[in-house]
A and B are shown apart, each in its own frame.
Chain A
Amino acid sequence: GDSVTQMEGPVTLSEEAFLTINCTYTATGYPSLFWYVQYPGEGLQLLLKATKADDKGSNKGFEATYRKETTSFHLEKGSVQVSDSAVYFCALSDGSSNTGKLIFGQGTTLQVKP
């Protein structure tokens, strides 16, 4: 079945460092891909999305490109801030049946130190 694999965390960076969180997926059909962020004590918030191959999603300085050839959707940010410390989830929507059910990766914790 469909699945999402994220790099294991925690990822620890200094402020203003470059961030990459890897995400690869296995899916049939034409899934959409999402990155959600979860701040401590809160629910998941949509960070960005891409609905077809070669689309780039971007928000708040984060971006990710839907790469069908490598089945990847890596999250990047050029300069992280302490406030970016959170858990990041990669997810895909069920592309074969168009039900919109989300399949999540296991989450990657990002810690940014001043």
Chain B
Amino acid sequence: ETGVTQTPRHLVMGMTNKKSLKCEQHLGHNAMYWYKQSAKKPLELMFVYNFKEQTENNSVPSRFSPECPNSSHLFLHLHTLQPEDSALYLCASSQDPGLAGETDTQYFGPGTRLTVL
């Protein structure tokens, strides 16, 4: 158990559906992240939130919309996705964002396996 939980673990949705992924961290960290992991590709950073403020948006299409109501919760709202968006979506948190050192270590949740039909 890493202290970072994600729900749902698996999600199948059509291209016209709207769904949300949820992440919660119980580690008292200040930064939270969304990553996309596709087969045979490196982890792709999507969004970063530091102290509830979005500090990074890595050219992610607008059909992905993040929300961070507090430093413990992070959502990823999905709408009108494409089949190529099928992937494992990982949430992570770290203690001290932007501060070099081992405190920048990211702790990952188990991920949501998303399939878009």
On whether the two chains bind one another, the answer is: no
